[in-house]
Amino acid sequence: METYDLVIIGGGWAGFNAALEAKKLEKKVCLIECSQIGGTCLNQGCIPTKVLTNFAKKTSGGLSQGLSLFKKEKENTVSTLKNGMEFMLKSQKIDFIRGTAKIISQDKVLIKEEKEEIGAKFILIATGSRPKDLPFLKFDHKRILSSDDILELDSLPGNLLIVGGGVIGCEFACALNKLGSKVTIAEILDRLVFMFDKDISQKLEQVFKKLAITVNTGYDIKDKDLSSYDKILLCVGREVNFNELFESKAGVETDKNGFIRVDDKLKTSVSRIYAAGDCTGGLQLAHVASYEGRMAVNNMFGKPRSVDYSAVPSSVFTNPELAQVGMNQEEARNKVKNTKIIKKFFLSVGMAHIIKETDGFLKLIIDSDNNTILGAGIIGPQATELINTLTVAIKYKLTLDDLKDLIFAHPSISEIFTETIQS
């Protein structure tokens, strides 16, 4: 039986980056993936959906026939990135096994197809998540669709209901509306993208209504007549993505929703088994999964450090884009004695006029007592890129005074920072 320093189950962003990190530490690594390298992010999530978003932006007047051009572009992009990942594994001499893993114990994993056992000094579970349906509305993958299904359609839905007005629902609503579908969003909460500040949610809803996207908030679809919609896309969350991963004696604890319990070092209830990414039920973002994969490896092999989620950017690729990092306004007011808000609109930025995208604003949430930047929210052009600069500011607890002498290139969208800081 071959034994590895680390056996990783799941080849998505957490598992892949964990494998590379372990090789940096000169460990013998095996990565097991039952489906496609790259996991949800590369194959059904971040990358394909952003190809769709970009394709919709470039397409004038929608599509009269099918989605074949989009699917070709998506497949080319995914294939290129997938080949790159596989090349990196090979060049780093990381053993890559396509197969279904079962954890027998904290130091032994079974490859089901091969009926072969391998040894492990440590195990990392990075099996990800999958789209969730509703008790009264189950995926049939024909009319009732998941976010995976919608990317495989051969023709646009004529009349589409999107159930869920979070990040995924809003991104699909924007792209498919641009391509020519009649889109309705049904959100059970009182506003879209509820994790963002209220003024950003309200602005997005205003934009959607101008685009003729019907938005129903505070709306429960249960017992409603949905017969007028030819397709229904469920964007109501995700659930843990493993079946029969454990022998009962493995002893890894899960929470009430089936996600794996981990401590602040990403260790499970079993001392030599760690978990990272969506399967832990935390922040289900690809960049967080990548970070957790690297952190777990360092915690295994003698460089212990607790995870820190204080400066995690969130991005929504609608048009206009949304992004935030750090505390939102409500959270800051609950945690910090004195706060202030500084807001600047893109109307004041020259480049925004040049590219004809002046809608939206940047807001900074500040600790009034020491001028530290606690959080930031953006709705507007290139928000998903701009937020990364503010991530650095919040991570390192910078103040407005620290940033006042920065010089940004002119004309650029980034000048919104200096406009806001100098306010």
**Coil, helix or strand for 22?**
helix
Residue 287 annotated among the catalytic residues of the structure? no
Average pLDDT, the chain: 94
pLDDT tens-digit map of 104-123: 999 999 998 888 999 999 99
Which position among 141, 287, 353, 410 bears the catalytic label? 410
Residue 417 near residue 406 (C-beta atoms within 8 A): yes
Average pLDDT over residues 67-89: 94
Q: Looking at per-residue confidence, does 126 or 65 come out higher?
A: 126
The predicted pLDDT at position 280 comes to 97
Q: Can you list the pairs that 100-105 forms with residues at least 24 positions away whose Cβ atoms lie under 8 Å?
A: 100/34, 101/7, 101/9, 101/32, 101/34, 101/245, 102/244, 102/245, 102/246, 102/247, 103/9, 103/245, 103/246, 103/247, 103/250, 103/252, 103/273, 104/247, 104/249, 104/250, 105/247, 105/249, 105/250
CA angle centred on 219, ends 214 and 224, rounded to 5°: 95
pLDDT tens-digit map of 365-404: 999 999 999 999 999 999 999 999 999 999 999 999 999 9
pLDDT tens-digit map of 137-166: 999 999 999 999 999 998 899 999 999 999
Q: At residue 60, does pLDDT exceed 90?
A: no
HEC letters along 238-264: EEECCCCCECHHHCCCECCCCCECCCC
Q: How many CA atoms lie within 13 Å of 301's alpha carbon, on the beta-carbon side?
A: 22
Gyration radius from the chain CA atoms: 23
Cis peptide before 313 (omega within 30 of 0): no
The predicted pLDDT at position 62 comes to 55
Q: Which residues pair with 32 in a beta bridge?
A: 9, 97
Q: What percent of the chain has pLDDT over 90?
A: 91
What is the distance between the alpha carbons of residues 192 and 194, in angstroms, rounded to a whole number?
5
Percent helix, percent strand, percent coil in the chain, to nearest 5: 35, 25, 40
Instruction: Name the token pair of 169.
Output: 């629902």
Q: Looking at per-residue confidence, does 243 or 177 come out higher?
A: 177
pLDDT tens-digit map of 156-203: 999 999 999 999 999 999 999 999 999 999 999 999 999 999 999 999
The predicted pLDDT at position 66 comes to 56
pLDDT band per the 50, 70, 90 thresholds, residue 63: low
Q: At residue 258, does pLDDT exceed 70?
A: yes
pLDDT tens-digit map of 303-324: 899 999 999 999 999 999 999 9
Q: Which residues pair with 106 in a beta bridge?
A: none
Enumerate domains of the chain plus CATH numbers: 3-130+239-300 (3.50.50.60), 144-236 (3.50.50.60), 314-421 (3.30.390.30)
Taking Cα atoms as reference points, which of 400, 33, 74 lies closest to residue 14? 33
The predicted pLDDT at position 249 comes to 59
The predicted pLDDT at position 61 comes to 55
